[in-house]
Amino acid sequence: MEIYVLSPRRLQSIHEWQQAVDKYDFPIRFDLRIDFDKVSGFLPLQFRGKLSGFECDHWGIKDIEETYDQVTIDPHFKHALAFRWGGDFSELVSALQAAAYAVATDGVVFDCQEGEINSATRAVEVARETEAALPQIEATMERALDEFKSKK
C-alpha cells in the first residue's frame, strides 16, 4: 500500500520529523542519524520498542501528477514524500503515524488506493484509529492463520 504527503515545503531533518511525531505521542522513533535528504527505500524505525519501518522516498509533484492524473493537486504543493508498506501491520501503523509529517509541512495526505486527498488532521485521526484497532486486527489475523494451518 502507498500514501503520499504532498506539501508546500519539506522538513530539513529526521530530527524535525521526530518532533512532529512526538507532538502526537505516537510510539515511533526514527534513527536521528539518518540523513533526511538521502532517504530512499526502507526507513527503519522503532515501533513500540521493536524494529519496524516502511519504504520512504522523496518524489517530485510532477511525478505524482503524471502517475495519478485523476487527482487535482493544489499548485502550491511542491514536494511529495512517499510511504509504502506490505502486510506487516506495525509497518502500516508506523507509516500512518509518520504522516504527522503532513501537519509539520502544512501538507495533505494522498491515498492513491482510494483516490482521496485527506487533511493532515484526518491523517492523524486515521493513525490513532488504526493504532487503537491494531490488537484486534492482529488477533483476527492470528485466528485466521491458526484456522488455515489446522485445515492443512
Per-residue pLDDT 10s for the chain (152 aa) are 999 999 999 999 999 999 999 999 999 999 999 999 999 999 999 999 999 999 999 999 999 999 998 888 999 999 999 999 987 888 999 999 999 999 999 999 999 988 899 999 999 999 999 989 888 887 887 888 888 888 76
Q: Which residues contact 90 (CB under 8 A, 6 or more apart)?
A: 47, 48, 50, 52, 134
**CA of residue 88 relative to chain centroid, distance:** 13
Q: Which of 105, 109, 107, 86 is nearest to 96 (CA)?
A: 109
List % helix, strand, coil for the chain (3-state, nearest 5).
45, 30, 30
Structural domain spans, the chain: 2-151
What pLDDT shows up at residue 79? 96
Three cell numbers at 139? 488477533
Q: What is the pLDDT of residue 52?
A: 94
Length of the chain: 152
| DSSP letter assigned to residue 133 | H
